A and B are shown apart, each in its own frame.
Chain A
Amino acid sequence: MLEINNLHSRIGDTEILRGVSLSVNAGEVHAIMGPNGSGKSTLAQVIAGHSDYIVTGGDVTYKGNDLLELEPEARARDGIFLGFQYPVEIPGVNNAYLLKAAVNAKRQHQGLGEVDAFEFLKLAREKMAMLGMDPKFLNRGVNEGFSGGEKKRNEILQMAMLEPSLAILDETDSGLDIDALKAVAQGVNTLRNPERAIVLVTHYQRLLDYIEPDYVHVLSEGKIVRSGDKSLALELEERGYDWVREAASA
């Protein structure tokens, strides 16, 4: 589904990704771990198409097409979803309105008709119940005045509504208490299926207790320095990131 080959990227004059290669297939869950500043979030932003990140080398194909040529909205409509580390507040724009516009933009791209208001609300309420969200969140401004946990749940709600082919969750676990973490993990787990790939970007092992990955990769100084199965995450937890760094430079 996603093929990243020797990807280089910079923001401003700072080179952040220095040759990342990664292959993600449908049905797989990958965890990308690494110390602060290793380039985890940059990788997520580059895949989503943020214009601040300049690709200086390498290529990325998604569903067989050159991903880097597409505008961010085209990538989204084609099934790429990024759960943001810091979801932005958009005061005055109704949460339900944004969600419905997003769902319809995707449906239009797929040649389907727009979803009607009743159908939309029914679906949204179902998903919210699953995530333990109060339906009143639909009528608030997008992320406006939401707590950290509420913002992250809102990201998962959007993901559940948009049913992406490739979901990248950037530090979705950061700042969550244990109940929120469980709710979010449950939301992600119900979306696991053979047609969908999920990439979890995380600093800590904790999330992986609830969402079991098929593969774990360690990113350090802009490169994947080690890949393995879920046991790698446990090893990291025990031995710290210095261990991989040393191993990488050795």
Chain B
Amino acid sequence: MSTENIESIVNRRYEHGFVTEIATESLPPGLDEDVVRAISARKNEPEFMLEWRLQAYRQWLEMKEPEWAHVHYPPIKFNEISYYAAPISDDDRPKSLDEVDPKLLETYEKLGIPLHERARLAGVAVDAVFDSVSVATTFKEKLFDVGVIFCSFSEAVREHPELVKKYLGSVVPRRDNFYAALNSAVFSDGSFVYIPKGVRCPMELSTYFRINAANTGQFERTLIIADEGSHVSYLEGCTAPMRDENQLHAAVVELVALEGAEIKYSTVQNWYPGDENGVGGIYNFVTKRGDCRGDNSKISWTQVETGSAITWKYPSCLLRGKNSVGEFYSVAVANNMQQADTGTKMIHIGANTRSTIVSKGISAGKAQNAYRGLVKVMPQAHGARNHTQCDSLLIGKECGAHTFPYMEIKNPSAKIEHEATTSKISADQLFYCRQRGISEEDAVNMIVNGFCKEVFKELPMEFAVEAQALLNVSLEGAVG
């Protein structure tokens, strides 16, 4: 992605700024304290939130962009990005599916996306999408009955400031890293979840709800708090290709699990990866971290990453409570010119903490796929255990797989296991399948899905089926 492209995106925004009434709410490109104040003001935020953003901005100014990841891209000009864009007006959206790019519809078809979901995903004016709205409303009532708070981040800041104040930045501090600091200063919106003590959330908090959080913009912020003894499963993202005119995405996700609580966080990420030459794809620089703050708590990350031109993402667990458990299951696919540097960090702080890492990287085309993982056992973490399994699958001759495992063990009682394999889909395997009447493409899908099985089984059932279909679509034409 060249700087011209960033500029053209910025310029496009700018044009709109003069054309439609709603878009005049967008801020001009560039970032300074006034921009931060303006964002906060537009959201009618309380004073504490503005103060928090400003401090993050000042800290960001002192920080440097990280360069250690195994990814390459031209420098990002942070002053040419617009940091607040009002939602696209319904007048600018397609009025029905008939107006949507047929190619996009074809992909929805292949992925088996339900009809009532397609319109919303394609960005059809919300008024036209009656189905999802009614589904969302029914679910909201059900959640309200058990005391679960599930709303947009902006709403949480206004309606539940005490919870936001208490937990925001408590897992990912403002100055944690360059992108986290930037997000803290200018975050647009996102989701907020609070599960009260002892409550088992009666349903998967899934994409159906995202109708409310549509247009969360490029700096998404998510905060999930599971109070003592509660349980929640949250699904982020969507298997359908999501197009977005913002090139840089820097999200922050914070999870807090108090004593005996369990959070299961599943992601399917399919942002636009760019064309075959990598032009136009999204940069996805995400900070995701879970804090097992209480004893016997558990946080489990499952991710299927197929999109974005560049992915930089390490969902991590701080295992602070005694006997707490962290899990990370990941499938990362990189095709064409995609670059992925992803993995996890498991920080064992409490005694008898356990963590499991299962990472499956698939590279095809000219893509580069890196696993980067840290297992750290602090001196007081007696009896900590970790098992890491890290497998790479190569399709074709021009792609690469890289593994960067780090281990810092400061307690001699720790038991750490690391297994790694690299394999290739061989011509012999493909010929064998073809000799049994199975087409080459089906054979590749079969082998890839077999490779990813351990991770898919961690996904909620419906999501797993979609994820499998997604992988097949992502790797279409990868062989031959």
Contact B435 A93 (CB under 8 A): no
Q: Does A149 contact B (CB under 8 A)?
A: no
Chain B 430-454 interface 0/1 with A at a Cβ cutoff of 8 Å (1 = within): 0111111111101000110111010
Please, how many residues of chain A have a CB less than 8 angstroms from a CB on the other chain? 31
Smallest Cβ-Cβ distance to A80: which chain B residue? B435
- The docked-state distance in angstroms from the alpha carbon of A91 to that of B434 is 17
Q: Does A162 contact B (CB under 8 A)?
A: yes
Please name all residues of chain B whose beta carbon is closer than 8 Å to the beta carbon of A93 when the two chains form the complex: 446-447, 449-450
Q: Does B426 contact A (CB under 8 A)?
A: yes
Q: Which of A51-94 contact B (CB under 8 A)?
A: 51-52, 71-73, 75-77, 81-82, 84, 87-88, 90-94
Contact A73 B438 (CB under 8 A): yes
Taking the nearest CB of chain A, how far is it from the CB of B360, in angstroms? 10
Contact A106 B446 (CB under 8 A): no
Q: Does B462 contact A (CB under 8 A)?
A: no
Q: Return the contact of B433 from the options A50, A94, A98 (Cβ within 8 A).
A: A98
**When A93-B447, A141-B450 are in contact, do A88 and B429 touch as well, CB less than 8 Å?**
yes
Q: Does B91 contact A (CB under 8 A)?
A: no
Q: Does B428 contact A (CB under 8 A)?
A: yes
Q: Which of A149-170 contact B (CB under 8 A)?
A: 158, 162
- The docked-state distance in angstroms from the alpha carbon of A109 to that of B428 is 24
Q: Return the contact of A76 from the options B437, B440, B446, B447 (Cβ within 8 A).
A: B437
Q: Does A105 contact B (CB under 8 A)?
A: yes
Contact A72 B446 (CB under 8 A): no
Please name all residues of chain B whose beta carbon is closer than 8 Å to the beta carbon of A88 when the two chains form the complex: 426, 428-429, 432
- The docked-state distance in angstroms from the alpha carbon of A71 to that of B423 is 26
Q: Which of A73, A87, A102 is most buried by chain B, counting CB atoms within 10 A of its CB?
A: A73
Taking the nearest CB of chain B, how far is it from the CB of A138, in angstroms? 14
Please name all residues of chain A whose beta carbon is closer than 8 Å to the beta carbon of B446 when the two chains form the complex: 90, 93, 97-98, 101
Taking the nearest CB of chain B, how far is it from the CB of A212, in angstroms? 27
Taking the nearest CB of chain A, how far is it from the CB of B79, in angstroms? 48
Q: Which of B437, B446, B447, B450 is most buried by chain A, counting CB atoms within 10 A of its CB?
A: B437
In the complex, the number of residue pairs spanning A and B with C-beta atoms less than 8 Å apart equals 73
Please name all residues of chain B whose beta carbon is closer than 8 Å to the beta carbon of A87 when the two chains form the complex: 432
Contact A90 B447 (CB under 8 A): yes
**When A50-B431, A72-B431, A88-B429 are in contact, do A158 and B436 touch as well, CB less than 8 Å?**
yes
Q: Does A48 contact B (CB under 8 A)?
A: yes
- The docked-state distance in angstroms from the alpha carbon of A49 to that of B427 is 13
Smallest Cβ-Cβ distance to B426: which chain A residue? A88
- The docked-state distance in angstroms from the alpha carbon of A92 to that of B428 is 16
**When A92-B450, A97-B446 are in contact, do A48 and B437 touch as well, CB less than 8 Å?**
no
Q: Which of A77, A82, A92, A162 is most buried by chain B, counting CB atoms within 10 A of its CB?
A: A92
Smallest Cβ-Cβ distance to B448: which chain A residue? A92
Please name all residues of chain B whose beta carbon is closer than 8 Å to the beta carbon of A52 when the two chains form the complex: 427
- The docked-state distance in angstroms from the alpha carbon of A88 to that of B442 is 17
Smallest Cβ-Cβ distance to A161: which chain B residue? B436
Please name all residues of chain B whose beta carbon is closer than 8 Å to the beta carbon of A84 when the two chains form the complex: 432, 435
**When A88-B428, A92-B453 are in contact, do A48 and B447 touch as well, CB less than 8 Å?**
no
Please name all residues of chain A whose beta carbon is closer than 8 Å to the beta carbon of B427 when the two chains form the complex: 52
- The docked-state distance in angstroms from the alpha carbon of A76 to that of B433 is 10
Contact A76 B428 (CB under 8 A): no
Chain B 347-369 interface 0/1 with A at a Cβ cutoff of 8 Å (1 = within): 00000000000000000000000
Taking the nearest CB of chain B, how far is it from the CB of A47, in angstroms? 10
Taking the nearest CB of chain A, how far is it from the CB of B450, in angstroms? 3
- The docked-state distance in angstroms from the alpha carbon of A101 to that of B437 is 8
Please name all residues of chain A whose beta carbon is closer than 8 Å to the beta carbon of B442 when the two chains form the complex: 101, 105
Q: Return the contact of A105 from the options B426, B428, B429, B437 (Cβ within 8 A).
A: B437
**When A76-B436, A82-B435 are in contact, do A92 and B447 touch as well, CB less than 8 Å?**
yes
Q: Which of A87, A90, A162 is most buried by chain B, counting CB atoms within 10 A of its CB?
A: A90
- The docked-state distance in angstroms from the alpha carbon of A102 to that of B446 is 12
Contact A102 B434 (CB under 8 A): no
Enumerate 7 A-B pairs (CB-CB under 8 Å) in ascending A order. A49-B434, A49-B435, A72-B431, A76-B437, A84-B432, A91-B450, A93-B449
18 additional A-B pairs beyond A84-B435, A91-B451, beta carbons within 8 Å, are: A49-B435, A52-B427, A71-B434, A73-B438, A76-B434, A76-B435, A90-B432, A90-B446, A92-B447, A92-B453, A98-B436, A101-B436, A101-B442, A102-B436, A102-B438, A105-B438, A109-B437, A141-B450
Closest 10 CB pairs of A and B: A92-B450, A93-B450, A105-B437, A102-B436, A76-B437, A72-B434, A77-B437, A73-B434, A88-B428, A88-B432
